[in-house]
């Protein structure tokens, strides 16, 4: 198995056919076919079904695809880290849940950027499932998330617990039965507690999987929603959002999950993870 074979396999998947893959890679179709056959022979599995209409992944091909992507990405990182510019000693790849970036993610990234000039930084947005997968395959060295699962060779740092508060674009918004209420999915625990607190409420007409997107919607169209207090604070101060009186508040904890092998070279990490809770 070699990188060329992996790149050829992914090109076929991305373009949908061996012909288009050969055009993208600027090689003959017979070369693409030979590379794919060699890869399948190495694995002992058929990865793609070749049809007149194109090529489709088999069950084995679907499973292998993520490994191929991981191997290509790790090779890219290896090349990047072994050809660092003068003055750069290491690379730190951080994955961040999009709701954490505006306040905590940006702050952590900035502190590393300012305090560790010998480290090359990169940041990638992702959902919890993606962040967990990327950490497991080594595509990222650390993940900033609201959900943390203890895994071998990883360490979980609880950064801070934040409040989710009900805010509205109207100063007189009702706590219940607001027709413009927007439901923001803040995880399973929040969902259970929200359902218990609002057992008599109707299903929200609008819902978002991101507090950042929900905030944009509120500011453009009006309404109410549960948002992280840190995200809503500046808009409350500016009079764009108002707290809803007597509404229950909820909490959730932000975590930094680090790859132990990478973090072993970060002597500055213990001090860094203490600051967000200050």
Looking at residue 8, which CATH number applies to its domain?
1.10.10.10
The verdict on 246 and 190 lying in the same domain is yes
In this prediction, residue 218 carries a pLDDT of 96
The verdict on 236 and 99 lying in the same domain is no
In this prediction, residue 85 carries a pLDDT of 66
Token pair belonging to 77: 């990182």
The verdict on 212 and 191 lying in the same domain is yes
Query: What domain count does the chain have?
Result: 3
Instruction: Report the b/e string of 247-276 with b at 16+ CB within 10 A.
Output: beebebebbbbbbeebbeebeebeebbeeb
Query: What are the helix (H) ranges across 16-153?
Result: 18-25, 29-43, 59-82, 106-115, 128-137
Measured CA to CA, the distance from residue 250 to residue 89 in angstroms comes to: 42
Task: Return the sign of the alpha-carbon dihedral for residues 102, 123, 271, 136.
Answer: positive
SS3 at position 57? strand
In this prediction, residue 180 carries a pLDDT of 93
| Containing structural domain, residue 30 | 3-81
Among 75, 5, 89, smallest CA distance to 40 is for: 5
The verdict on 25 and 134 lying in the same domain is no
User: Do the bridges between strand 48-51 and strand 181-184 make them parallel or antiparallel, or are there none, so unpaired?
Assistant: unpaired
The verdict on 57 and 112 lying in the same domain is no
DSSP for 5-49, written as a single string: HHHHHHHHHHHSSHHHHHHHHTS-HHHHHHHHHHHHHHHTS--EE
The verdict on 45 and 114 lying in the same domain is no
The verdict on 32 and 47 lying in the same domain is yes
The verdict on 169 and 243 lying in the same domain is yes
CA atoms within a 13 Å half-sphere pointing along the CA-CB vector of 174: 7
The verdict on 183 and 230 lying in the same domain is yes
In this prediction, residue 142 carries a pLDDT of 94
- Report DSSP state, residue 202: P
In this prediction, residue 82 carries a pLDDT of 63
Q: List 144's β-bridge partners, or say none.
A: 96, 256
Q: Where do we find the tokens 């190495």?
A: 42
The verdict on 166 and 248 lying in the same domain is yes
CA separation (Å) from 164 to 32, 208, 226, 249, 252?
A: 53, 15, 6, 6, 8
In this prediction, residue 278 carries a pLDDT of 46
Phi/psi-derived region of residue 44, left when phi > 0, alpha when psi is between -120 and 50, beta in every other case = left
Measured CA to CA, the distance from residue 93 to residue 141 in angstroms comes to: 5
Give the predicted TM-score (pTM) of the model: 0.65
The verdict on 172 and 248 lying in the same domain is yes
The verdict on 248 and 167 lying in the same domain is yes
pLDDT per residue, tens digit, the chain (278 aa), is 578 888 899 999 989 999 999 888 888 999 999 999 999 999 999 999 988 778 889 999 999 998 988 888 888 777 666 666 677 777 789 999 999 998 899 999 999 999 888 888 889 999 888 888 888 878 899 999 998 887 888 999 999 899 999 999 999 998 888 999 999 999 888 999 999 999 888 888 999 999 999 999 999 999 999 999 989 999 999 999 999 988 999 999 999 999 888 888 888 888 888 875 54
Out of 81, 115, 143, pick the residue that ends a domain: 81
Q: List 93's β-bridge partners, or say none.
A: 122
């Amino acid at each position: 198995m070699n990188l060329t074979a992996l790149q050829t396999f992914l090109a076929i998947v991305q373009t949908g056919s061996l012909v288009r893959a050969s055009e993208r890679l600027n090689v003959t179709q017979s070369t693409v076919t030979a590379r794919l056959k060699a890869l399948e022979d190495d694995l002992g599995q058929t990865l793609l079904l070749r049809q007149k209409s194109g090529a489709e992944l088999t069950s084995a091909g679907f499973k292998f695809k993520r490994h191929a992507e991981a191997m290509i990405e790790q090779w890219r990182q290896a090349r990047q880290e072994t050809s660092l510019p003068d003055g750069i000693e290491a690379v730190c790849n951080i994955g961040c849940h999009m709701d954490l970036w505006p306040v905590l993610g940006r702050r952590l990234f900035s502190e590393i950027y300012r305090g560790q000039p010998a480290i090359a930084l990169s940041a990638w947005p992702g959902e919890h499932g993606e962040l967990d997968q990327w950490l497991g395959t080594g595509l990222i060295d650390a993940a900033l998330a609201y959900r943390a699962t203890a895994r071998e060779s990883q360490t979980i740092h609880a950064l801070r617990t934040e409040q989710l508060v009900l805010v509205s674009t109207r100063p007189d918004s009702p706590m219940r039965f607001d027709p413009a209420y927007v439901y923001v999915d803040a995880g399973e625990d929040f969902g259970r507690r929200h359902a218990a607190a609002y057992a008599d409420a109707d299903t929200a007409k609008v819902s978002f999987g991101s507090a950042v997107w929900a905030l944009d919607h509120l500011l453009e169209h009006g309404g109410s929603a549960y948002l992280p207090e840190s995200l809503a604070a500046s808009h409350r101060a500016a009079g764009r959002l108002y707290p809803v009186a007597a509404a229950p508040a909820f909490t959730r904890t932000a975590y930094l999950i680090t790859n132990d092998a990478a973090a072993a070279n970060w002597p500055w990490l213990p001090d860094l993870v203490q600051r967000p809770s200050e």
